[in-house]
Structure 1
Amino acid sequence: MPYRRRARRSDGIVGSAFDRRLIPPMVIGAILNPVNSSIIAVSLVPIGAAFGVPPSQTAWLVSALYLATAVGQPVVGRLVDLFGPRRLYLIGAVLTLAAGVVGTAAPAFGWLIAARVLLGLGTCAGYPSAMTLIRREADRTGHESPAGVLTVLAISTQTISVVGPTIGGLLIGLAGWRATLAVNVPLAIASLALALARLPRDPRPRGLRREVLPVLDLPGMALFAGALTALLVFLMELQSPPWAALAGAVILFAGFAVRERRAAVPFIDLRVLGGNVPLVLTYLRVVLAQTVSYAFLYGFTQWLEDGRGLTATQAGLLLLPVFLVGIVVSTTTGPRPQIRGKLVVGALTQVAGSALLLLLTGTSAIWTIVAVTVVLGIPQGLNNLANQNAVYLQADPERLGGSAGLMRTFMYLGAIIASAANAALFGDRVTTTGLHDLAAFAVAVSLALVVVTVADRSLASTLSRRQPRPQETHA
């Protein structure tokens, strides 16, 4: 989409349009995380069968990616600012390539977990690199908000989330579950080739010892990673809870909070929450909504294969209505500025969809399964965009970047909780009883989402603060 207005860059070079050569590497870098988030949904059952591990263990493949991403995303975002998008993009592509090779050749289940951790770290670079490149091009062209480019980025990430399980099912049908890891090899090679050919070179980095290490807040990162890991260990073993891990998580989180409030440049700026109750409530809604969304994505998919007896390909196809309805809903309601109404409807339909899971059995007709996925597609399209709008409107404008990053951390926390719930409720085997237990859990979490949304009176006045800019949808 060419821009006719001409603007002079700070280096004196005149630019008139966004450099379209940047779009392919930005898009392929940004989709690496969502494709690996969604494609694994149909791989869990065949992986468990291949290595003889129960669902309570295969859930680690989900949690490992999100744990690495929750810690890595803020780190990589800061490194992009310090070293430039091209360098971090290339490093991320190399890590993704290594993860694809390790996962494809994994001789044991532990190697798969290591591959997912590498994927979580490697795919952290694509999105912040893309956003930095967009900002630089906006400065060069004189256009503050290149909405067309942002839209391309948003649609690409949401689309890959739509087709991820379906692609995974087709790959498994053609070449087995290892193909869902091997797909990262050509994607990473394409990323490397496009980045080397099209991304502009970064300026020389500043001094590592004097300027970079203090900004990285290594103690804060270590405390945060340790606390999340300890919490995850506790959540994944709820059948016989390791209370020492929970105690360790509490201590480490407390130490993290003390450290971040005292740090000159904190890893996660907890001050963005200070006195901002509406923003805290929005983060709580994000956790609740994403917990249900990911519990359905991973738990329901496993049940379709083990409980309903479908193939991975068939399960992937049956998930399409969820994401297709989500895209339609977000596209049609996105231009409307109302936030509270979207969140209320999204929460209520999440309750309804979760309750409908209680009606499914191992002999349920396909059309009833499709009906459930259609209902669950509505909150998929409403909650994500509405919560993103709320963060933009409620956050301190001077700390908007930190607030948006923190929102993604809460999204990943919801995914981790969902993975732990799947592990606890399914145990050693995926059954219809386990699905109903998961549905009851989802109903309870969804009801909590309704209460938090309805009780949040600040949402009624949120729109009066300022109008949101073009939205980006994250998978």
Structure 2
Amino acid sequence: MSVRSRWLIISVGLGILLNPLNSSMIAVAITRLQAVYQLDFTVVSWIIFSFYIASAVAQPVMGKASDLFGRRKLFLAGLVVAFAASMLAPLSPSFGWLIVFRIMQSIGTSMMVAVGMAIVRIHVTEKQASALSVLSIFLSGAAAIGPFIGGVLLHWWDWPAIFLVNIPFTAASFLFAWRNIPKDKPASSLARSMSLRSWLHLIDASGILLFTVGLVGLLIAVLAAKSSGHVSTGHAALGLLGLVSLAAFARHEWRAASPFIPLRTFVKYPAMTWINIEFILVNILYYSLFFGLPAYLQTVRHVSEFHTGMLMLSLGLCSLVASPIAGRWIDKAGPRPALLTAGILMTLGSIWIMTFNQASPVISVILALAAFGISNGLNSVGMQAALFNSSPREMIGVASGVFMTSRYFGTILSSLLLGIIMGDKLSANGFQRLGAVLTVIALSLVILNWLRKQSGQSEPKAVDK
């Protein structure tokens, strides 16, 4: 690999790591933000919701936008947006403004993730697989060490440092990207002549609007009703608006020529659909622990932010170690044994959570984290392999996009689950109830994988319509 290619990979890697880093650092700051803004856990959980909803919408949109405006320009613009959001967030006069800047940060970092892989694919022609694997390390490594970095920053400074730490990353990445990412080719005549209306049709702006309004409306209604302890007329009306918007979204996506989420694909390829359902459940399990455990440790066990970050590091490290081992295992035996093992580990970890109390030794926390970390490594590789096995070759691009949407949807649902179970105040009993719910979900995954293994289902089969 040439020196120029290496610098290009580093330039892109420094940018794309900002999305997983910022999505994971916040895990140890939720309790601190709850105290600073005097809010209950349900409201503070919007710091998680907002980031993942914005990422779920922004990444596919920005991927399409790069074809029109240029990948280099979009990457650099994403760095500017992320830089501005990181500067402004610590100055937020209220929690509402912090959410605004958090969404802005999510959009900026999503712009880089959406085009980063494509930039490397286009401009690094030698040892391309190795180049892409290095970018995967940037992504997974940032997610793994995020809680540890967040814990250190909170210990020595305060929550604004979680945003300010992005500034040197964005500045360095901008300089590297400006120097090393080749300039975009002149836009095609079709791109230059495309009107705003045509571009909005291309990205399915109507579908995105219906999806966002429906999801946000439903989440606000459910969480507000849970927080107040009763369902008011306003809650019911907002929930109904959300359901109507989601129903309109489904109807629109079924007819759209360029849908935001291709519903027809789910119907036509049921094997691929089941993989995405499993992936949603996997992410509900993993991120419920990822965001719930730090809050439990700090609120119930009174563990410092620094030591919480240290404990959470074991989750990320186990995941990183398990991923390459999973790759070799899956190459030999296929994805199902690894996925079945991951389901069993998550079941054991969830049962272990049900036993947690204030007297539980630290080793019990580490064991639960290790079980979830190893299972995450197995699932990350195994689910991707199962997706490719269940998707026809001509659908791989679409399938990968839907797969990422499933990840975000699972993460959003994990935050909703935490808000419903934890309510206004986190408690040991609430965390044990979370363990019970996670046990049911994990057992469901084990049963699904066992049944699919017995049936031998792997190749994609289209359903004629």
TM-score, normalised on structure 2? 0.91
Q: Is the contact between residue 395 and residue 403 of structure 1 (CA under 8 Å) also seen in structure 2? A: yes
Q: Which of residues 359, 365, 369 is equivalent to 1:369?
A: 365
Displacement of 1:245 in angstroms is 3.2
- CA offsets, 1:46-78, max 9 Å, x none? 111111111111111001100111111111111
1:269 aligns with 2:269: no
Displacement of 1:228 in angstroms is 2.0
Aligned mates of 2:128, 2:219 — CA distance in 1: 39
Change in Cα spacing, 1:18 to 1:110, as seen in structure 2 (3 Å) is same
Change in Cα spacing, 1:227 to 1:112, as seen in structure 2 (3 Å) is same
Displacement of 1:18 in angstroms is 7.2
Worse-superposed segment, 238-247 or 72-81: 238-247
Letter in 2 for 1:417: L
Aligned position for 2:120:
134
Aligned position for 1:77:
63
Change in Cα spacing, 1:383 to 1:243, as seen in structure 2 (3 Å) is farther
Aligned mates of 1:196, 1:341 — CA distance in 2: 45
Aligned position for 1:204:
186
Aligned mates of 1:416, 1:358 — CA distance in 2: 23
Task: State how 1:10-409 maps to structure 2 within 5 Å.
Answer: 19-137=5-123, 141=125, 146-205=128-187, 206=191, 207-209=193-195, 212-237=199-224, 239=226, 240-241=230-231, 242-335=235-328, 336-337=330-331, 338-409=334-405
Worse-superposed segment, 280-289 or 227-236: 227-236
- CA offsets, 1:152-202, max 9 Å, x none? 111121111111111111111111111011112222222222222221111
Letter in 1 for 2:346: Q
Letter in 2 for 1:382: L
Q: Is the contact between residue 66 and residue 415 of structure 1 (CA under 8 Å) also seen in structure 2? A: yes
Aligned mates of 2:455, 2:64 — CA distance in 1: 31
**SS where residue 53 of structure 1 aligns?**
coil
Aligned mates of 2:391, 2:239 — CA distance in 1: 31
Aligned position for 1:453:
449
Q: Is the contact between residue 69 and residue 120 of structure 1 (CA under 8 Å) also seen in structure 2? A: yes
Identity of aligned residues (%): 29
Q: Is the contact between residue 269 and residue 460 of structure 2 (CA under 8 Å) also seen in structure 1? A: no
Worse-superposed segment, 40-49 or 387-396: 387-396
Displacement of 1:463 in angstroms is 7.1
Letter in 1 for 2:302: G
Change in Cα spacing, 1:280 to 1:80, as seen in structure 2 (3 Å) is same
Aligned mates of 1:26, 1:363 — CA distance in 2: 46
Aligned mates of 1:291, 1:133 — CA distance in 2: 31
Displacement of 1:459 in angstroms is 7.6
- CA offsets, 1:421-453, max 9 Å, x none? 211222222211111111112112212222322
- CA offsets, 1:86-112, max 9 Å, x none? 111122112111211121111211121
Displacement of 1:260 in angstroms is 2.2
Ranges in structure 1 where 5+ consecutive residues have no aligned partner: 3-16, 466-475
- CA offsets, 1:390-425, max 9 Å, x none? 122222322221211111111111111111121122
Displacement of 1:28 in angstroms is 1.3
- CA offsets, 1:312-340, max 9 Å, x none? 01001001111111111111121233111
Worse-superposed segment, 75-84 or 165-174: 75-84
Task: Count matched residues.
Answer: 447
Q: Is the contact between residue 326 and residue 382 of structure 2 (CA under 8 Å) also seen in structure 1? A: no
The structure with the largest helix share of the pair is 2
Change in Cα spacing, 1:289 to 1:235, as seen in structure 2 (3 Å) is farther
Aligned position for 1:414:
410
Letter in 1 for 2:94: A
Ranges in structure 2 where 5+ consecutive residues have no aligned partner: none
Change in Cα spacing, 1:26 to 1:291, as seen in structure 2 (3 Å) is same
Aligned position for 1:441:
437
The CA RMSD over aligned residues, in Å, is: 2.0
